[in-house]
């Protein structure tokens, strides 16, 4: 497991590292510490990790900014904070767990167990995707997404209201983090199954998926049976 600890108090950060090594032993591949908001964001842009252990107060700056910047990256987050009043907001971001300070070995072990459970079949909990715009980041609730179309190394997100937004992550990355209600129907399309209505056959084992708004999307032959089984 590759972990980053984002914590501005050195003694607390060192304790988290020590407990993590004690609990995970050989399962721990690497663990790094970042003490600033900017350092954490830069680190996450340059490194692949499995788990983020995040404090919400970083020298007076809001740790939620790290989540906003990294909300569509393929790792899990555990909040470690004394600000327990922010737990509800944290879970709205889709974090895996909220551990209140001071951190105990038993409570941290429970958080790691939740991580392992999530990696072995538990539902993915991403609630938002972030869209980068000149004026800053915009968060999109995944429930507002109708389908996503691949566009080179980017993805075009089509929303319930008919609008679309360009995302800077590929379909493969988004597929790995979106909830189970989103399914890959074609190499170029991911659809929210809640918006799927029925199939339309063109003969010769060719099918389209018709959405509730009457839009049609192509379906891969190799995916047809699986998608048919998943339709509500």
Number of helical (H) and strand (E) elements in the chain, helices listed first: 7, 17
Last residue of a domain, one of 56, 84, 119: 119
CB 51 within 8 A of CB 34: no
Do 41 and 107 lie in one domain? The reply is: yes
Q: How many Å apart are CA 223 and CA 46, to the nearest integer? A: 34
Residue 122 has pLDDT above 60, yes or no: no
CA diameter of the chain:
67
Q: How many CB atoms lie within 10 A of CB 193?
A: 16
Q: What is the CATH number of the domain that holds 49?
A: 3.40.50.2300
- 176: Cα within 13 Å, side-chain hemisphere: 13
CB 80, CB 53: distance < 8 Å: yes
Task: Count Cα neighbours of 212 within 13 Å in the Cβ-side half-sphere.
Answer: 14
What pLDDT, in 10s, does the model give residues 179-190? 889 999 999 999
Label the pairing between strands 51-54 and 76-81: parallel
pLDDT bin (cut points 50, 70, 90) of residue 93 is: confident
Which residues constitute the domain of residue 79?
Answer: 2-119
> Do 10 and 114 lie in a common domain?
yes
Q: What is the percent of the chain with per-residue pLDDT over 70, rounded to a whole number?
A: 94
pLDDT in tens, 172-218: 888 877 888 999 999 999 999 999 999 999 888 889 999 999 999 99
Radius of gyration of the chain (CA): 20
Residue 84: pLDDT band (50, 70, 90) is confident
60/166 same-domain check? no
Closest CA to 94 of 78, 115, 111: 78
Residues 206, 210, 216, 218: is their CA dihedral positive or negative?
negative
Going by C-alpha positions, the residue among 37, 40, 36 that lies closest to residue 4 is 40
Report how far residue 90's alpha carbon sits from residue 99's, in angstroms, rounded to the nearest whole number: 11
Same domain, 26 and 95: yes
CATH number at residue 164: 2.40.50.1020
CA dist 16 and 55 (Å) reads 11
């Amino acid at each position: 497991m590759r972990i980053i600890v984002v914590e501005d108090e050195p003694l607390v950060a060192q304790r988290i590292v020590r407990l993590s090594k004690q609990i995970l032993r050989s399962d721990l591949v690497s663990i790094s510490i970042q003490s600033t908001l900017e350092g954490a964001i830069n680190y996450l842009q340059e490194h692949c990790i499995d788990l983020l252990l995040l404090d919400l107060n970083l020298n007076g700056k809001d740790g939620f900014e790290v989540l906003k910047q990294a909300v569509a990256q393929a790792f899990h987050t555990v909040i470690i904070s004394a600000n327990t009043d922010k737990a509800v907001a944290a879970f709205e971001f889709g974090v895996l767990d909220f551990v209140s300070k001071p951190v105990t070995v038993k409570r941290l072990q429970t958080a790691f167990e939740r991580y392992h459970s999530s990696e072995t079949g538990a539902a993915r909990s991403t609630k938002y995707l972030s869209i980068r715009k000149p004026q800053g980041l915009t968060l999109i609730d995944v429930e507002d997404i109708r389908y996503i179309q691949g566009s080179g190394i980017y993805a075009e997100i089509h929303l319930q209201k008919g609008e679309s937004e360009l995302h800077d992550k590929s379909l493969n990355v988004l597929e790995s983090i979106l909830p189970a209600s989103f399914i890959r129907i074609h190499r170029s399309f991911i659809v929210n199954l809640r918006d799927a209505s029925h199939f339309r056959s063109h003969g010769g084992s060719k099918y389209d998926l018709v959405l509730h708004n009457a839009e049609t999307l192509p379906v891969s032959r190799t995916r047809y049976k699986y998608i048919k089984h998943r339709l509500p």
